[in-house]
Structure 1
């Protein structure tokens, strides 16, 4: 364990040298004259407010980004998204889906334990070194509040992945007698998070909120989120109502803190950070943008020179209601809801406005997409068009509709591209395509991937809409369905959405709440952990097989010059490409195993999670 959780304090010197490059542009001349920049002492860092603030900023990197593990985060493990096959193999996702996650292979999937305890060590060094600091209290207290928040966030994230973990509040030195530290219980870790948030709230009280920095509101929100997790079925098996009450008080405090829903939902994830709704988020510059060119690289629609690593499932698409407030399908996902007015052969009309903002579906557009030789303004086809006719010039009947090798009738649209890809006539083809693409986090103002383009995306960690939904869930647990409906409907009444109020109760209200939460918060590091804390995997949420569009063809009969589309024909069914999802292995799978090497390094002081 001394090689991972409790690293040599000498690593700090490397970290201090690294800071010189960070703080160079912000240091005043008198500071720069004090000593060579390649030899900043530990004392200088912890007694100079500029250097120290940059030490704090570096610690923000301990807040796991929502796209780890792998772009898209954990959502590819849920019912609403599926990850491309080679991506699964590379990131260890395949082992999880197959029910084969073990202490031996968990680090292939996520290196959370090692990475996060390393940041906790750095944070503990901060507290030790600033205990008797000469820095003015008005400058030091806000930084200390930020560090309490970051430590709380890391422990919150560790607790929802592993359950109880060791609470470490001091750094370790080479001459310490033992590194064999036992795990704390989940309840102890959760209470530690709450206590850290309370310290952060106190220290940041009266400090003006700055977009991208930890604020009092952010600390209040993290506390409320932790209390919700503590009250949830996974961690509250007796349904202790006092835990729900505590979550209610903390969540209502966030709601009453002065935030408001941004009037439009389409631009929430584009710069600048929308400080009216976003409680804690992060923007980027050309120097620190999301790795691999950002979400564009992995969510970019296939057919526009892209690999499209992550796709929405038909299950998720079906969660978007019609604009009359009815679901297109009944709960089985196959039988059309007769009250909805939905037509499976005309599926993209009269839907929740968020559907058009968040999902790219066959025929969507026209979209102006800048990328490579295929850059053009055209409708979305979910595989590369084998015989493009971008100007829609006559004849509309494609002369190459019949494959001369097998006589099969082909169309200028959709999955006929598989045939042409096999022959090497189209450049991109991926086996997992469900027919849909996520649109929520894409930035089409520039190319798919370029080191030279300053992309506009932001990362949102917490925003008001989540806490409206959290409060609704808490009120359902407390038996107050009227209040629950009120807060769900607040989200639905955002001016750019304006969906009908929900009026359901009981199990139907629960279904509508969970669907609403999936629609509103997808790709925000929520769905996977929601399913876990709800204990919704076995028998409640169907994690497989994956369903989507198995065929989309276009009939140009009757089309006139200038018509953007002929008549589309849709076939729905199981998608054969993704790695098969094994039956739920058992309730032990609600938590991940502790890496085997960490158990060994602790001389077996750490106890493994049950079932592994």
Structure 2
């Protein structure tokens, strides 16, 4: 039988499966055909809803920080451990394969067929803009991970798929930016009712700002951020609560992946808690991430006068630490978390416990939010307003345009978290502000799947992705007070990591794809 590159071939019937919350609840029939589908606006919307199904996945958001210095993935079969430790190979079956064009082909199919639909032209234009965004987002992710990728903008045959070549990165990035600029005015600034969750104008400008920042096109990124700033977004009042299911679709959310329990559930929340809470303990925030949080007075833990005490390391820290990570001695779900005592059910080396001794908290502020943590409707935020503020500040810093708006953008985020405003006597140079904004990005956006892209563009992989990964020190936790007493002087050694800058800033093209189509080639040194 002739081999087929299935990740590049789209089967139209699969495109029509709807999902997600209210605006995707109108499930179309799988038996639609091209001759019967494109007869009304409702048909076009049903087809577009299918395009929304696969454009992102909570799994990737949750696990992506495990390929950075922020987190460790303890189970190799979950697909991210070998990427994080640098042992990945093109033939590795234990590595997540994100070389997937199914969503792109869905969008291509929609765009090639919707034109014939008899419907309001303005609505049709908006529908096409939504599909073009979803396609552009896929190319953004693919090009960030793999570099040169096939720029597939039309439906292709099996023969075409098996002979396709990769498009240079610069051309793919230009396509993405051109698409986002073209469609932004065609998208609505916001939606109400059943349409909440659809792609907005702010999402187009924010993704453009992100890509322009990553490319070092700072002037363009600043302009994109300013456009987003004029659309009415704001910071949600309480940092930890903005991730809770009862506050989803809040004023800070620009783009998210919509889920609905039972129908299209976010079933990945259960991997986060430790075993005593019914979870798998798959992801462990690292000691490096914990140490990056400032003290409550705004000083880093290594600064003179910070007040940091290594024997009481979690006290008087940036409140975002307690909102993002469950650390030993923290009161959580009715008890003091104890991952450092060998006698505890949650001990870090035990089965289904995070091996670093730290548990992610950002998406499980309270487990009682979910009747079933394996079947939740929690949306996964992809872009939020805090990132735009940090992007704006960084782009201006790198451009040498340091003014009050830079400090104001950073301080809005810090003050919301309960931190003091930036000390302008300390952070008064481009170099100092660069250090600050990079640390703020790491802390504010921790465990949201963005850290890898920052490491990649800053070219800091050898500094932060190489060497020993550490977890918490062993000790005891008083079950009545939460007081932590460490019994070992050294932090737990979790893993040794490799990082070769000549190869590891890109993921390898999966060998099974090259076996089908040798014209794809391979990324350097794999």
Structure 2 length as normaliser, TM-score?
A: 0.88
Q: Equivalent residue for 1:575?
A: 492
Counterparts of 1:64-103 in structure 2, within 5 Å, are: 64-68=56-60, 72-84=62-74, 87=75, 89-103=76-90
In structure 1, what is the equivalent of residue 420 of structure 2?
499
- Structure ID, larger Rg: 1
Query: Which residue of 1 is the match for residue 336 of structure 2?
Result: 379
C-alpha distance 14-435 of structure 1, shift in aligned 2 (>3 A): closer
Change (3 A) 1:91 1:247: same
1:83 & 1:448 partners in 2: Cα distance? Answer: 23
2:177 pairs, out of 191, 194, 215, with: 194
Could you say which residue in structure 2 is the equivalent of 1:230? 215
- Partners of 2:355 and 2:8 in 1: how far apart? 43
Of 91, 115, 131 in structure 2, the residue corresponding to residue 147 of structure 1 is 131
Deviation at 1:305, TM superposition (A): 4.2
Q: 1:208 to 1:44 in 2, by over 3 A?
A: same
How far 1:139 sits from its partner (Å)? 2.7
State the secondary structure of the residue aligned to 2:525: coil
**Matches of 2:24 and 2:224, distance apart in 1:** 40
How many Å separate the matches in 2 of 1:571 and 1:274? 44
Following superposition, the deviation at residue 326 of structure 1 comes to 0.6
| Distance 1:534-1:24 versus aligned 2 partners, 3 A rule | closer
Within 2, Cα distance between the matches of 1:572 and 1:50?
65
- Answering whether residue 502 of structure 2 is matched by residue 587 of structure 1, we say yes
Cα distance in structure 1, aligned partners of 2:20 and 2:363: 31
Q: Deviations over 1:301-323 (max 9, x none)?
A: 34434431111111111111111
Cα pair 1:593 1:609 within 8 Å, conserved: yes
Q: CA deviation at 1:290?
A: 4.4
Compare 544-553 and 472-481 and name the one that shifted more.
544-553
Change (3 A) 1:302 1:203: same
Tell me how far apart the structure 1 counterparts of residues 20 and 277 of structure 2 sit (CA, whole Å).
38
Q: How does 1:297-376 map to 2 (within 5 A)?
A: 297-328=270-301, 330=302, 337-365=303-331, 367-368=332-333
Deviation at 1:59, TM superposition (A): 1.2
- The 3 A distance-change label for structure 1 pair 122 and 571 is same
Q: Structure 1 residue 436: deviation in Å?
A: 1.9
CA distance in 1, matches of 2:251, 2:370: 29
5+ unaligned residues in a row in structure 2: which ranges? none
Measured at CA, do residues 565 and 265 of structure 1 come closer, stay the same or move farther in structure 2, by a change above 3 Å? closer
Contact residue 323 and residue 350 of structure 1 kept, 8 A:
yes
Q: 1:165 to 1:343 in 2, by over 3 A?
A: same
Q: By how many angstroms is 1:38 displaced?
A: 6.6
Is 1:262–1:274's contact at 8 Å kept on the other side of the alignment? no
Deviations 1:12-40, CA, capped at 9 Å, x for gaps: 24545x5699999748xxxx9xxxx6743
- Alignment of structure 1 residues 420-459 onto 2, 5 Å: 428-429=350-351, 433-446=355-368, 450=372, 455=376, 457-459=378-380
Structure 1 residue 479 corresponds to structure 2 residue 465: no
| Residue equivalent to 1:261 | 235
Q: Determine the C-alpha separation between the residues in 1 that align with 2:476 and 2:190.
A: 58
**Structure 1 residue 357 displacement after superposition:** 1.6
C-alpha spacing 1:289/1:4, structure 2 compared with 1 (3 Å): closer
* Contact kept in structure 2, 1:228 and 1:474, CA below 8 Å: yes
The answer to whether the Cα contact below 8 Å between 2:41 and 2:118 also exists between their aligned partners in 1 is no
Q: 2:250 aligns with which of 259, 275, 299?
A: 275
State the partner residue of 1:3: 5
Q: Which runs of 5+ in 1 are unaligned?
A: 232-242, 331-336, 369-376, 384-413, 557-562
Secondary structure of 1:72 counterpart? helix
Corresponding pairs, count = 516
RMSD, aligned α-carbons: 3.2
Alpha-carbon distance in 2 for matches of 1:207, 1:305: 38
Q: In the alignment, is the contact (CA less than 8 A) between 2:41 and 2:117 conserved in 1?
A: no
Q: Which residue in the other structure is 2:148 paired with?
A: 164
Give the drift of 1:341: 0.8
Q: CA deviation at 1:581?
A: 1.3
| 1:35-54 Cα shifts (integer Å, max 9, x gaps) | xx674332332222223212
Does the C-alpha gap of structure 1 residues 346 and 289 become closer, same or farther in structure 2, counting only changes over 3 Å?
Answer: farther
Counterpart-to-counterpart distance in 2, 1:38 and 1:97: 39
Distance (whole Å) between structure 2 residues aligned to residue 214 and residue 255 of structure 1: 17
SS in 2 for 1:460: strand
Per-residue CA deviations over 1:373-400 (Å, capped at 9, x if unaligned) read xxxx2221125xxxxxxxxxxxxxxxxx
Residue in 2 that maps onto 1:121: 105
Contact 2:261 2:377 in 1 (8 A): no
TM-score using structure 1 length: 0.77
Give the superposition deviation at 1:339: 1.2
| Whole-angstrom CA distance in 2 between matches of 1:144 and 1:547 | 48
Alignment match of 2:32 (pick from 34, 40, 49): 40
SS of aligned partner of 2:490: strand
